[in-house]
Structure 1
Amino acid sequence: MTQPIFTALTLRDGSLARDAWTFAPGVVPLNHGSFGAVADPVITAQRALQVEADQSAVGWFPHLPARTREARERVAGFVGADPGDTVFVPNASAGATVVFNALRLSPGDEILVTDHGYGAVTLGAHRLARRTGARVTTVAIALDAGDADVLAAFAAAIGPRTRLIVVDQISSATARLFPTAAITALAHRHGARVLVDGAHAPGLIADAARVAGGDWWFGNLHKWPAAPRGSALLVTTAEDRDDLWPLIDSWHSELPYPERFDMQGTLDITPYLAAPIAAEWIEHTFGWDQARAAMETGAEAAAEIVAAAMQPVVEGAARPRVASPAPSMRLVRLPGTLGATREEADGLRERLYAATGIECSFTSFRGVGYVRLSIHLYTTPADLDALIERAIPLLVEWSR
């Protein structure tokens, strides 16, 4: 089989897309999915907003509710949501916490999560259960489970006391899609509600909030839309959404949803104001349909290239069978028992960066460690070469 070719993207002027981002010398950025990376034009726009705030606090803070409303009106459509259903939150975990804080469960009620769930969100579900006397049940879903198998697993798990399902639209640890709309339909037939963790969905899934189907949805803007960190959205059409409150009570707390979220005191909300600039910059520079296609094509090529290099040093297939892989992320198996637990996988990220300057995510699932490749518009063939030539030999050495 001919090995695929990974091609770097270019800007309209013919320069490399990479040139729109500034990374420190020696850094190899292959971990966009964890922390994002902000393009230079967006950094410039955010810095200008921060300067404006510092030049006149009185000219800045009293006007923030109106400016926040304008920003969410601009960015809501990007995820297929109505601005009146949409609020800014600092990150996905904050969105989950807002919902968990509002729920009134009874002792014996049940919350369903999956073994693919993001740790912080799952911890929040457990805290909700402890607070209310509910219980958490984990639905086990195989990496290669198709949509029908996923639905069957939920159908078997849901019971008369199930009140809430928490499910990823795109899972972080396993980089796969879940049929959230179908899961929501199943849940509603049984009288349960669904919180969709769309942390990775904005930008990777067109109209991500609209197609998710949940009662509540949240997603990060600092990931694939490359907005400043500290910008995420919470979207809901639930009838009881006036039970949702910001994590900080501020002067607009007595206003209805969503307006009560538009004022958060003296917090630096320039990430919110710059978020639509980021989404619009990618649309203007690449086009979002083209950007999604490029990231997906790049992720598949990168996985084939890296897996071919990893295959001689791993047992079984270097590329696990993932039924519905995320558009821009792929898993490649690690050698031996390397990264077999979450703690070990997290430790590898720091260890590899310290040794090589390569930023890469490592995950574990059911006792197997993986490197999670994240491909963005700025990724180049040289990034993959560095991973193969410098990282894989070290990973093999560390696995012994």
Structure 2
Amino acid sequence: MGTVVAPKPLLLRDGRPAAAGWSLDPGMRHLNHGSFGAVPVVAQREQQRLREEMERSPVVWFPALPARIAAARAAVAGFLGVPAEFTALVPNASAGASAVYYSLPQRDGGEVLVTDHGYGAVTMGAARLARRWGGRIRAAHVPLAAGAEEAAAAVLEQIGERTALIVLDQITSATARRLPVDLIGRAARERGIPLVVDAAHVPGLVEDPLAGAECDAWIGNLHKFGCAPRGTAALVARGELRHSLYPLIDSWGAEDPFPERFDSQGTLDATGYLAAPTALDFVADQWGWAEARRYMTELADYAEELIGEAITAATGEPAAARVGMPVNALRLVTLPAGLGRTRLEADALRDRLAAESGVEAAFTSFDGTGYFRLSTHVYNTPDDYEYFAERCVPVLCAWARS
């Protein structure tokens, strides 16, 4: 029997279930907030209101847009606990990383150091940068169970004379673990090597997300746990590198300083940027972010144990995953043997379960092992994961046997 008690589901201030604040299909079980997020109804309506305003008077809208974006990023910067003058808004973490890659000076023969936990799109961009430099990409292997010191050592021992950039996840996507950006950042600073931190999952999950992160650029998605409209992320650059950072598309703000040059992007639909503070404020006003994180953590504790025990009981094999630096609202449970061994197999499981069982879930792989990646948010309830354990675990086990 499980030892973790299920938390009491959250309610809106008017007494309705938390899920009533979203427009998610009630006919589906939504257990994968971490991939694409989910936008509260109030933020959806605000974005639509802004779009209608834009379409009513585009000649008035676009000249005034940079000032409105500046106000939105100031609000976002306050949420992240950093100064607005160090903060730009970009479409997502991959776009922010690409902006950094294309802004860095040429380093003939330079190598880019990543880890084998890196997000595919960001790693592919790093590999292209290395090819442009005439160098190569080097991937450090970090064991899933590695603690902070072991993980830092695994990365730092891969640094060589040609290392010109380090790209590191603060919270990894596929493996739902943290990496010691503080330890690695200090070592990179001592060696004069720029560090880019992919913090795609961090805003909303970490109270002070940049505390201790000694990095040259930090990029966090607001559309994941922050619940902002998709296509909204923050690029924070606090050191000298920020003076060299430019958006991928030159526009009329190209000669402005950082971050103002990112505020002018022509006819880009920036309504997601402008509605982001509404989403952040919604969670703050309904529960407070500290309470939201507490609930997500306790629900993840419950779900991880419940589903792990269900898989273990069905297969006879231990399903608990040993994760060295676990995350509060993202967890791993080992799948029945043979399932999700590669990214493509894991994605196929995601699609099949949604189509056949009405459950949106995330499956990932690492070192040839497949995992169910738990991803909780305030609108999830213990019943969601009890349903998964009762209905979906037998399905997954049947698929493994076949």
The separation in 2 between residues aligned to 1:64 and 1:166, in whole angstroms, is 32
The separation in 2 between residues aligned to 1:237 and 1:106, in whole angstroms, is 22
Contact 1:314 1:334 in 2 (8 A): no
What whole-Å deviation, never above 9, does each CA across 1:151-190 have from its counterpart, x for those lacking one?
2212321122222111100000000011101110011122
Cα-Cα RMSD: 1.4
Matching of residues 291-370 of structure 1 within 5 Å: 291-314=292-315, 316-370=317-371
Map of 1:49 onto structure 2 = 50
Percent identity between the two aligned chains: 50
The separation in 1 between residues aligned to 2:166 and 2:141, in whole angstroms, is 13
Letter in 2 for 1:134: G
SS for the counterpart of 1:138 is strand
Matching of residues 257-268 of structure 1 within 5 Å: 257-268=258-269
What whole-Å deviation, never above 9, does each CA across 1:168-215 have from its counterpart, x for those lacking one?
000000000111011100111222111000000001112213442211
Residue 123 of structure 1: how far off its partner (Å)? 0.3
Letter in 1 for 2:46: A
Map of 1:197 onto structure 2 = 198
Letter in 2 for 1:319: A
Map of 1:4 onto structure 2 = 4
Contact 1:160 1:190 in 2 (8 A): no
The separation in 2 between residues aligned to 1:368 and 1:214, in whole angstroms, is 31
Map of 1:88 onto structure 2 = 89
- Judged with a 3 Å threshold, the aligned counterparts in structure 2 of structure 1 residues 82 and 314 are, in CA distance, closer, same or farther, namely farther
Contact 2:299 2:381 in 1 (8 A): no
What whole-Å deviation, never above 9, does each CA across 1:259-297 have from its counterpart, x for those lacking one?
111011112111100111111111111111111111111
Residue 29 of structure 1: how far off its partner (Å)? 0.4
What whole-Å deviation, never above 9, does each CA across 1:344-393 have from its counterpart, x for those lacking one?
10111111101011000000000000010100000012311331232212
The separation in 1 between residues aligned to 2:398 and 2:154, in whole angstroms, is 39
Residue 109 of structure 1: how far off its partner (Å)? 2.1
Contact 1:65 1:262 in 2 (8 A): yes
The separation in 1 between residues aligned to 2:241 and 2:43, in whole angstroms, is 36
Letter in 2 for 1:129: A
The separation in 2 between residues aligned to 1:263 and 1:207, in whole angstroms, is 28
Contact 1:314 1:333 in 2 (8 A): no
Contact 2:102 2:248 in 1 (8 A): no
Which shows bigger deviation, 381-390 or 272-281? 381-390
Matching of residues 112-151 of structure 1 within 5 Å: 112-151=113-152
Residue 313 of structure 1: how far off its partner (Å)? 3.5
Contact 1:81 1:210 in 2 (8 A): no
Letter in 2 for 1:4: V
The separation in 1 between residues aligned to 2:81 and 2:315, in whole angstroms, is 42
Matching of residues 225-304 of structure 1 within 5 Å: 225-304=226-305
SS for the counterpart of 1:112 is strand
Letter in 1 for 2:135: A
Count of aligned residue pairs for this structure pair: 400
What whole-Å deviation, never above 9, does each CA across 1:204-255 have from its counterpart, x for those lacking one?
1122134422110000000001010010010002213232111222111121
Letter in 1 for 2:5: I
Give the TM-score normalised by structure 2.
Answer: 0.96
The separation in 1 between residues aligned to 2:152 and 2:36, in whole angstroms, is 31
Moved over 3 A (4+): 313-316
Contact 1:113 1:137 in 2 (8 A): yes
Map of 1:157 onto structure 2 = 158
Residue 108 of structure 1: how far off its partner (Å)? 2.9
Residue 314 of structure 1: how far off its partner (Å)? 4.1
Residue 2 of structure 1: how far off its partner (Å)? 4.1
Letter in 1 for 2:4: P
Gaps of 5+ in 1: none
Tell me, yes or no, if structure 1 residue 381 matches structure 2 residue 382. yes
Which shows bigger deviation, 383-392 or 214-223? 383-392
SS for the counterpart of 1:64 is helix
Contact 2:142 2:155 in 1 (8 A): no
Give the TM-score normalised by structure 1.
Answer: 0.97
Residue 77 of structure 1: how far off its partner (Å)? 1.5
Map of 1:30 onto structure 2 = 31
